[in-house]
Amino acid sequence: MTDVVYVTHEIDPSVHGSHVDTDLELVVSEFDRVGLDWAVAAWDDHGFDWSDARLVLVRSPWDYVLRRREFLEWARDVETLAIVANPAAVLEQNTDKVYLRTLASHGVRTVATGWIHDADDAGRVIARMRQDHGARVVVKPTVSSAARGTILTSDPLEAEAHARLVLAQGFGVMVQPYLEAVEAEGEISVVVIDGRPSHAVRRAPALSDSPDAAFGELVELTDELHHASCAVLHAAEAEDLVYARVDLVREADGALALMELELTEPSLFLTLHEPAAQALAAAVASRLS
């Protein structure tokens, strides 16, 4: 049997936005180093024999968003054959950003969010967000990645029209203020391997026009970042997962707030901190033993 299958997505060079997983090469090199047999497969490769895998490492299935139900069915089916990391139940919860509402109810400080599930509520929710936090708002589907279906606008009519469009496509909608700290300091992502914070990366705003928006720079993993990320993982009962990424932003009062808890398909920025690739391979090996 194959020890571990690294799960990614089908890359089509003809499709704009088809991305290469920059973590992959480092991870499989570490699999070689620790003596693990490995394979790489797209999650929707129907010709792949998943029953041959001992552990399925879900890493970059970035095209799942428009086929979320199919993706989750695949994960549940594979979990009857092999260990899935992160587990199918985690993937199901984490691929809809309403999990942020649950974490907020458990005491995690999250970025202020308005939730729209009915078109009749759109104008009211957007008006309240603008009243409380300023004119610029971000409107996006609750099932999304890489800013897909996301707009930033100061126009309430544009915000409401976009919310209605997203609802018509079958998705819930979330509305958040656009925080000035995102422009100044950027988002800070704390990468966590096997329950332990590994490194921190400052990322450009997701809605930036910069060609470097998808990349980041390594920053100090301070005690503040360490504590904040561990508190989020504890509240989410996610401390025993193979990988996680905690995306934080500093609000106007200087405190850190959670933007997203990425447990499904985050870039782990391993090229910026290669020891994390070693830790990831070790985490996989420990679960196989």
Alpha-carbon distance 74 to 68, whole Å?
10
Nearest to 153 by CA among 145, 163, 144, 143: 163
Decide yes or no: CATH 3.20.20.80 for domain 2-94.
Answer: no
Strands 151-153 and 256-262: unpaired
* Residue 14: pLDDT over 60: no
Decide yes or no: CATH 3.30.470.20 for domain 99-108+181-263.
Answer: yes
Q: What is the CA radius of gyration of the chain?
A: 19
* pLDDT per residue as tens digits for the range 187-232: 999 999 999 999 999 987 665 544 444 568 999 999 999 999 999 9
* pLDDT per residue as tens digits for the range 229-278: 999 999 999 999 999 999 999 988 889 999 999 999 999 999 999 999 99
* Residue 13: pLDDT over 50: no
For the chain, the average pLDDT equals 92
pLDDT at 252: 85
Nearest to 137 by CA among 174, 96, 93, 86: 174
Nearest to 135 by CA among 158, 160, 163, 155: 155
Go through the chain and tell me how many residues it has.
289
pTM for the model stands at 0.92
In this structure, which CATH number among 3.30.1490.20, 3.20.20.150, 3.50.50.60, 1.10.3720.10 belongs to the domain 114-178? Answer: 3.30.1490.20
pLDDT at 179: 84
Q: Where are the beta strands (DSSP E) in 145-185?
A: 151-153, 173-177
Spell out the domain ranges in the chain.
Answer: 2-94, 99-108+181-263, 114-178
Count CA atoms within 13 Å of residue 237 on its CB side: 7
Alpha-carbon distance 109 to 123, whole Å?
25
pLDDT at 211: 40
How many helices, marked H, and strands, marked E, lie in the chain? Answer: 9, 13
pLDDT at 10: 85
